[in-house]
Amino acid sequence: MAAITLIEAVNKAMAYEMGVDEEVVILGEDVGANGGVFRATDGLQQKFGDKRVIDTPLAESMIAGVSIGMAAQGMKPVAEIQFMGFIFPAVDQIICHAARMRNRTRGRIHLPMVIRAPFGGGIHAPEHHSESTEAIFAHIPGLKVVIPSNPSRAYGLMLAAIRDPDPVIFLEPKRVYRIEKHEIEDNGEEYPLGMCFVDREGTDITLISWGAMLHETKQAAEKLAAEGISAEVIDVATVSPLDIDTILESVEKTGRACIVQEAPKAGALGSEIAAEIAEKGVMNLLAPIGRVSGYDTVMPYYRLEKQYMPKVEHIVEEAKRIVEYR
């Protein structure tokens, strides 16, 4: 068993599944000899050949559209969009076709495909490389949207995503690609999609987050503990379809909820979670729901990036405000 990073876990999961299922193929820009710009596909072309790890021309709509055609024939394409900021030419294909093919053919054609993309800020990247636009896809019926927060989950959720019979958008928080290592047994064991993970148990407040921001959220929970506040931490992991029951159960126990997201605040996933808690759990609440998020601004270029990102102290502050609410 080796200790590996999140990006290595993505690589391992893809390699595992390619080894046991010959229908699994990888395609994208620079995924071959280069192993991907973040090295997610490092070594895979050497291992599985250029017929199964395919360097595509530079065209994102094509990558998504071709994946749809391949998946319709029973293959299981795992396509890489190099950065989420470049996914937009492919959105037509993802929303208008991938998400609805099963429905509009009444089940005759279904699409077992994964579209991976690194996303989020914090690595001093060029413009258009740092946005968190997961809500765009989470809004679309027919898609599943998965965001791993650590190496173990990246491994297990990627396996589940590839094996899922429907299209999965797999968003990788690149800021935490290499921030920690987990001991992972490369045994092909998946984590189920559509399930939240309770990462820390607590009694005073539920902190709900996903992706890179889960790290700040967990640190905030530590700090709160030092101040005598017991925070429960939930990793949403599959942001669509949302496992709202786990969140509601937790809020029923703690009576307080704070959602932490890197994305802008308005019309986001945090809004949906807050609305669900308000609809189904408002009588359990001892205080108004709180949200810690990015600003409703364009994601700034990297000199101001730090000022945009929610930080541990913001979460601590908001959690304390909620807990102290009378």
Given the complex with another protein, which of 32 and 121 has the nearer CB atom?
Answer: 32
Cis, peptide link before residue 167, omega less than 30° from 0:
no
Residue 220 main-chain phi, psi, to 5 deg: -65, -40
109, amino acid identity: I
Rounded distance between C-alpha atoms, residue 282 and residue 325, angstroms: 15
Residues composing the chain: 326
The answer to whether residue 129 is catalytic is yes
Least spacing, CB of residue 103 vs another protein, in Å: 5
Token pair in block for residue 100? 């609805």
Q: Report the residue number, 75 or 123, with the smaller CB distance to another protein.
A: 75
User: Position 111: which residue type?
Assistant: L
> Is the CB of 31 or the CB of 316 nearer to another protein?
31
Minimum Å gap between C-beta 266 and another protein is: 22
Q: Is 72 left (phi over 0), alpha (psi -120 to 50) or beta?
A: alpha
Return the SS3 of 213.
helix
Looking at beta carbons only, is 89 or 300 nearer to another protein? 89
| Phi/psi at 265 (5° precision) | -75, -40
For 33, 172, 179, the CA distances from 2, given in Å and listed in that order, are 24, 21, 16
Residue numbers of the site for another protein (CB under 8 A)?
25, 51, 56-57, 59, 61-62, 64-75, 77, 89, 92-93, 96-97, 101-110, 141-142, 144, 164-166, 194, 241-242, 244-245
How many whole angstroms separate alpha carbon 14 and alpha carbon 165? 16
User: Residue type for 81, please?
Assistant: I
Give which of 250, 210, 211 is closest to 231, Cα–Cα.
Answer: 250
208: left (phi over 0), alpha (psi -120 to 50) or beta: beta
Shortest distance, CB of residue 236 to another protein, whole angstroms?
13
- The distance of closest approach from Cβ of residue 196 to another protein in the complex, given in angstroms and rounded to an integer, is 12
Residue 298: CB atoms within 10 Å: 10
CA-CA distance, 208 to 213, in Å (whole number)?
Answer: 10
Closest approach, Cβ 274 to another protein, in A, equals 15
**Smallest distance, Å, CB 105 to another protein?**
5
Catalytic residue among 124, 128, 129, 139: 129
d(CA 1, CA 304): 40
Which residue lies nearer to another protein by CB, 71 or 171? 71
Nearer residue to another protein within complex by CB, 77 or 85: 77
Place of tokens 């599944």: 17
Q: Catalytic residues, which ones?
A: 129
